[in-house]
Structure 1
Amino acid sequence: MTQRSETGLPTSLTGPTNSLADIPGLRLGQAHDTALASGVSVVLFDEPATVGTSALGGASAGRDLAALAPDATVETVHALVLSGGSGYGLDAASGVQAWLRARGIGFRLGAALIPIVPQAICFDLLNGGDKDWGRYPPYRELAYTACEDAGARVALGSVGAGYGATTVDLKGGVGSASVRLASGHMVAALAVVNAVGSTLIEGGPHFWAGGLEIGDEFGGLGWPLTPPGARHRPHWKGGPQPGTTLAIIATDAALTKAQATHVAIAANDGLARALDVTHAPFDGDTIFAAATGARPLADPVQDLTMIGAMAANVLARAIARGVFTATSLPHEGALPAWRDRFGG
């Protein structure tokens, strides 16, 4: 008899939660401010993780990304942060550092303790929320709150860094998915979908990622019977309105920094499988790939190839789930959610 996960999907295909929580050794914390219409998502590692990154958007912004280069000195990181707020959101990493330092977690240099906390941000400053925060933006405290909330539960939709996220035609949000490889390795993705383009084929309801869907994790609609040539008519926010999809790919595999960087690069294909416009001049698309190291690679070439390929697929599914589960913002003129337009 086939075992089923908490989501009703076969555990031979996904992990028990079909989310980032299926990777042992990490916890997710999320916090947002409804009036601000923005928030923060934080991944904390029980043990320092090996992380690589790929930033292919024309307007990406982040913190400590250079430390993730394969030839950089620091080998592991203690947390990863995804945040709204554009450049203001970069304060979030300081809140995570404060939380980790208070618990004695960090990279030690003599008497100094420095938590390594890379971060990427998305632009959500024009979504109708109240951004008049005074002297300092609130992202440091939101991130600290997210750390306090961190656990094994992965909430989806309008939450955390995805609370204020939008696409060109629908409300965006946080999505997650997982997959179990034949090698036994687990690969999962967490996505913040604030895309410059659309996740839908010709306005919907079908998702571009529909051919990769497992079960009915984002509606079970698949693709249209006769897919139109919609790729020739891309829908995007236009003008100087930025859009960004941020992602964390996590695996229990034991990877080097160079191998993790390869996975982050390969995962970018997931953006193309789930969105009709990516890597535009005002995109900030950034992907982290984190390896907890629990399961060695039996075949470095075969296993790494499959982890990279499945990272792209699982990210595409996470992007669709982020839009599918989102709810619209309570502000005048806010974009509708997928469920508002197409029902449950």
Structure 2
Amino acid sequence: MRNLITDVAGVLVGNAEDYGIASGTTAVVFEEPAVAAVDVRGGAPGTRETDLLALERTVERIDAIALSGGSAFGLEAGAGIGACLAERGRGFQVGAVRVPIVPGAILFDLLNGGNKKWGRYPPYRELGFAAAEVAAGTFALGSAGAGLGATTAGLKGGLGSASARCGLHTVGALVAVNALGSVTIGDGPHFWAAPYEQAGEFGDLGPPASWPVDALALRHKAMQAGNTTIAVVATDAVLTKAQAKHFAVMAQDGLARAIHPVHTPLDGDTVFAAATGHVALADPIGDLIALGTAAAHALARACARAVYEAGALPFPGALPSWRDRFGGR
């Protein structure tokens, strides 16, 4: 176990960044088409091909998922990922052609100090292609991929991942944390996700020894700063599309355990769920409850890891990273 979403059999991840614009893309590529669903709770989502994941839609399986910075411009990352997969002969069969199915979501990172004057066309299609091309079992966390330009209330955001065993199954989470809210408690170094930490993966600080009196005070970024947390949870279980939907619904609670506040009118919080279908469920109800619970825990851990592993952007006025502020503790 690498404590990455790629511990789930059949899942690969690749990152691509443009450091000049301070933004990037992450491609989640499935070695074989995966059953998928999505749960959207933020008030300002930016998504691609999520309608086809509805239970009544025809397409049952997808080839990849695009997570990207760039706000609406970043939706083009899905086209780049699709182009890469098309070259490999991947996609939904329609007569003599194949159409890669690549849903996606974006976060807003246009005001983070990078140079967004990219000319007529933004670079996200090429970033998507590059991310899919290098998709593998290991990948960078923190200020990487879709997390490169991410921020939170007071600290640099980033890309995080975590995994866990759940009986005979494996569950994994991947998240780009760009939240309006905060992943840490008050002004201190402790993470809201501390109860779920495993093996010191984000500093082993645990909860604060004494709870700050203002711990629940509302802390958030400036309203115009840009937000949204986007995530993928995956399992090697055999799930139907309806079961994958409930898997996504349960997993979304991981964001609420790691970010305060969350699902605001200015966040586009979106969680995709995917099942690669390697291990059947012994108990369709009991196993799904266990998988959803494990996914929520893993997603909370991944959120904390995203901020813990991030590095500050090299621009005047950039937010400090967690390590900049608390690394000596």
Q: Sort the TM-score into its range (normalised by shorter chain).
A: over 0.9
> SS where residue 229 of structure 2 aligns?
strand
Paired position in structure 1 for 2:122: 137
Paired position in structure 2 for 1:76: 61
Q: Deviations over 1:226-255 (max 9, x none)?
A: 223545302111423331111100100111
- Structure-2 separation of matches of 1:257 and 1:56: 19
- Structure-2 separation of matches of 1:156 and 1:229: 32
* One-letter amino acid matched to 2:245: T
- Structure-2 separation of matches of 1:306 and 1:71: 26
The match for 1:224 among 204, 208, 229 is: 208
Residues 1-344 of structure 1 mapped to structure 2, 5 A cutoff: 16-181=1-166, 183-343=167-327
Q: Deviations over 1:59-99 (max 9, x none)?
A: 00110000111111000000001000000000111101111
Give the number of aligned pairs. Answer: 328
Task: Tell me if the contact between 1:240 and 1:282 (Cα under 8 Å) persists in the aligned partners.
Answer: no
Q: Deviations over 1:129-188 (max 9, x none)?
A: 00000000000001111111111112110000000000011001000001111x211111
* One-letter amino acid matched to 1:96: I
- Structure-2 separation of matches of 1:312 and 1:105: 31
- Structure-1 separation of matches of 2:297 and 2:213: 22
> SS where residue 6 of structure 2 aligns?
helix
- Please tell me the root mean square deviation across aligned C-alpha atoms, in Å: 1.0
> SS where residue 42 of structure 2 aligns?
coil
The normalised TM-score by structure 1 is 0.94
- Structure-2 separation of matches of 1:134 and 1:289: 35
Quick one: structure 1 residues 289 and 230, their matched pair in 2 at CA, closer, same or farther if it must change by over 3 Å?
Answer: farther
- Structure-1 separation of matches of 2:314 and 2:224: 24
Deviation at 1:191, TM superposition (A): 0.6
> SS where residue 193 of structure 2 aligns?
helix
Give the % identical residues: 54
- Structure-1 separation of matches of 2:33 and 2:97: 17
> SS where residue 232 of structure 1 aligns?
coil
> SS where residue 292 of structure 2 aligns?
helix
- Structure-1 separation of matches of 2:218 and 2:254: 17
* One-letter amino acid matched to 2:128: A
Deviation at 1:27, TM superposition (A): 1.0
- Structure-1 separation of matches of 2:213 and 2:79: 46
Structure 1 residue ranges, 4+ long, deviating more than 6 angstroms after superposition: none
- Structure-1 separation of matches of 2:133 and 2:115: 25
The normalised TM-score by structure 2 is 0.98
* One-letter amino acid matched to 2:253: D
